[in-house]
């Protein structure tokens, strides 16, 4: 075969292959057919997932000051203790209890104090801790609860994990009235989601799996226990052993 015939043959094969590919692409684009599995299984975000929960992101003690004079609400219910504050000191030996879920708290100031080694307040002690001084609605007494720890130049704050800075009734205003009634009474009822249940009876939990909304969760509310089973993120079985 002469050189020009070889070249022509190669050109013809290339043209056939390329043309076939172009025809395939045109066919796929004009007939998209079934979407890929990833597109089929992708789930839209729920209203709870897109609800605006405002952060503060404090890095230093001074960053806490905008909260002075404001009302905050406990997010991490029944996990963090609070103590009476009197005569300019925190009464560590007289723990008042664990702050309930969704509890409103009126912030008066922030102080630094060293907690006794024997006191377990749920956080690393460091050399000092940062405490929020607050009162409860209708109560003039002052209380203190830890919000961070300090060790030399290192500062760690957990306010965003602990508190809502806006009323959760407003953040989740679309939750049904009967659900909010149960939350305000610190009870759980059938049909509640995991988030709604945590808002009611707290964050001290032991789940039996990683798939939130499809698992069984044990709750401890200062010695009172619930075992709740969820299917499609709705409480179906509630036990109080």
Q: What is the pLDDT of residue 2?
A: 44
Residues whose CB falls within 8 Å of the CB of residue 224, separated by 6 or more in sequence, listed in order: 240
Q: What is the pLDDT of residue 94?
A: 95
Q: Where are the domains of the chain?
A: 61-164, 188-239
Q: What is the pLDDT of residue 122?
A: 87
Residues of the chain with pLDDT under 50: 1-35, 39
Q: What is the pLDDT of residue 67?
A: 98
CATH fold label, 61-164: SH3 type barrels. (2.30.30)
pTM, entire model = 0.81
User: With contact defined as beta carbons under 8 Å apart, do 135 and 142 qualify?
Assistant: yes
* Cα(99)–Cα(2) distance, integer angstroms: 92
List residues bridging with 149 in a β-sheet: 129, 156
Q: What is the pLDDT of residue 9?
A: 45
Phi, psi of 14 (to 5 degrees): -60, -40
Torsion from C-alpha of 59, 61, 63, 67, nearest 10 degrees: 130
- Quote the crossing angle between the two packed helices 177-184 and 194-201, to the nearest 10°: 30
Token digits of residue 130: 């940062």
Residues whose CB falls within 8 Å of the CB of residue 70, separated by 6 or more in sequence, listed in order: 106, 107, 165
Question: 119: exposed, middle or buried (C-beta count within 10 Å: 0-12, 13-18, 19+)?
Answer: middle
Token digits of residue 203: 């964050």
Q: What is the pLDDT of residue 142?
A: 98
User: With contact defined as beta carbons under 8 Å apart, do 132 and 145 qualify?
Assistant: yes
Token digits of residue 169: 């009734």
Q: How many CB atoms lie within 10 A of CB 192?
A: 26
């Amino acid at each position: 075969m002469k050189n020009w015939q070889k070249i022509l043959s190669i050109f013809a094969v290339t043209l056939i292959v390329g043309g076939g590919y172009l025809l395939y692409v045109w066919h796929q684009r004009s007939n998209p057919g079934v979407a890929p599995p990833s597109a089929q299984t992708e789930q839209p975000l729920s209203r709870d997932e897109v609800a605006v929960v405002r952060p503060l992101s404090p890095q230093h003690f001074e960053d806490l000051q905008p909260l002075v004079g404001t009302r905050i609400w406990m997010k991490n219910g029944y996990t963090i203790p609070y103590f009476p504050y009197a005569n300019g000191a925190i009464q560590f030996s007289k723990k008042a209890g664990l702050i309930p879920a969704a509890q409103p708290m009126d912030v008066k100031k922030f102080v630094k104090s060293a907690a006794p080694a024997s006191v377990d307040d749920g956080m690393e002690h460091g050399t000092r801790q940062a405490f929020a001084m607050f009162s409860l609605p209708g109560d003039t007494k002052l209380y203190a609860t830890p919000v961070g720890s300090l060790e030399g130049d290192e500062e760690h704050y957990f306010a965003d994990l602990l508190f809502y800075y806006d009323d959760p009734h407003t953040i989740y205003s679309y939750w049904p009235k009967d659900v909010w009634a149960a939350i305000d009474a610190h009870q759980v009822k059938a049909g509640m989601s995991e988030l709604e249940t945590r808002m009611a009876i707290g964050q001290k939990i032991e789940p039996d799996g990683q798939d939130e909304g499809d698992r069984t969760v044990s709750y401890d509310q200062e010695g009172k226990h619930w075992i709740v089973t969820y299917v499609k993120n709705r409480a179906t079985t509630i036990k109080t052993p």
